[in-house]
Structure 1
Amino acid sequence: MADPSLTLVIGGAASGKSAHAEAQVRAMPGARVYIATAQAYDDEMRAKIARHQADRAAHGWRTVEAPLDVAGALTGARAGEVVLLDCATFWLSNLLLAERDWRTEAAALLTALETCAAPVVVVSNETGQGIVPENALARRFRQAQGELNQMLAARADRVIAVIAGLPLVLKGPAE
């Protein structure tokens, strides 16, 4: 069976979803492209990003930093590549903090995913299984993240939930 053109890997924080998504991409034929959406706002995050960049470079990944323009980054993907977008959660957070219309940006993302020349694996956090956030921005983010995840899952050929490092295929072909 051919690799799915869009895979969504979803899970909670520190669930193992990024490691699983990277393994998915490594198992697919083609040059590996990593679309990174995180922004560093403190020293700990700067150090984490630097570690990830060094690790990816050592393993042959081409990294595209796209904290806001993920759709543009996807249009740059070529046939013969396989793309890991890590992660939709940071991207959405960046949009909200920049006061951009996330629904318009999400529509552009979905179009870019549909027309992307390469298969794409998207990582996203499941944020709706915890307590109700105490402030309006956090509640708005949680609502938007839930809606974005539903949009991505509806379009994905395969959806994998990762819990405690264990993958569970929710939609599409088994691994």
Structure 2
Amino acid sequence: MESLTFIIGGARSGKSRHAEELLTALPRPWTYIATAEAYDDEMRERIAMHRSRRGEGWLTVDAPFDLVGAIEALPAERSVLIDCLTLWLTNHMLANHDLEAECLRLTEVLAHPRGPWFVVSNEVGQGIVPDNALARRFRDEAGRLNQKIAAVADTVLLMVAGLPLKVK
């Protein structure tokens, strides 16, 4: 079953938990591609919480930058959860990488899933306009990336207060 499910929502909306539930309903093996980097204690705690919640049976691949390479290295028919695109985007922004090129590469590989793939991202455009240029740029880049991924996804779910709403 080759399909791309895009799961988007605000902070603490239940995106990751729902994606994990969808993936674990499928046969093993399960692969979790993590894009987070632990720059501080708070982020280390978040990463540890996610790992402990998943439990055993998961292969975790860290891909804070080379997400495309990590996806391409997976065997066909592998069930995959990618969490999350906005952290991956942040990593590239802070490193001053070519965002347009990176997002295009990612969109192209996600447009051709080789198994059941689930991708998590944050919806960051429904709040107030940020007060600084970097935050506004991030909001805009995340919005553009989310639109591209939603366009190639077979299914798009919007998470609201722990509830999935089917958008596509």
Q: Assess same fold via TM > 0.5.
A: yes
Q: Which amino acid aligns with 1:41?
A: Y
Which deviations, in whole Å up to 9, do the C-alpha atoms of 1:73-114 show, x marking residues without a partner?
Answer: 100111232000000010001110010111100111112223
1:39 corresponds to which residue? 37
- 2:124 corresponds in structure 1 to 127
TM-score between both structures, scaled by the size of structure 2 = 0.94
Identity %: 54
Secondary structure, in 3 states, of the residue corresponding to 1:150?
Answer: helix
Give the Cα separation in 1 of the matches to 2:116 and 2:28: 10
C-alpha distance in structure 1 between counterparts of 2:11 and 2:46, whole Å: 15
Please give the residue correspondences for 1:3-152 in structure 2 after superposition, counting only pairs within 5 Å.
Answer: 3=1, 5-56=3-54, 58-152=55-149
* DSSP-derived class of the 2:7 partner: strand
**Could you say what the CA RMSD is over the residues aligned between the two structures, in angstroms?**
1.4
Stretch deviating more after TM superposition (22-31 or 124-133): 22-31
Runs of 5+ consecutive residues of structure 2 not aligned to the other structure: none
Unaligned runs of 5+ in 1: none
Rounded to whole Å, the distance in 2 between the matches of 1:51 and 1:166 is 21
Number of residue pairs aligned between Structure 1 and Structure 2: 168
TM-score using structure 1 length: 0.91
Distance 2:81 2:150 in 1: 16
Which of 138, 147, 151 is equivalent to 1:154?
151
Change (3 A) 1:4 1:163: farther
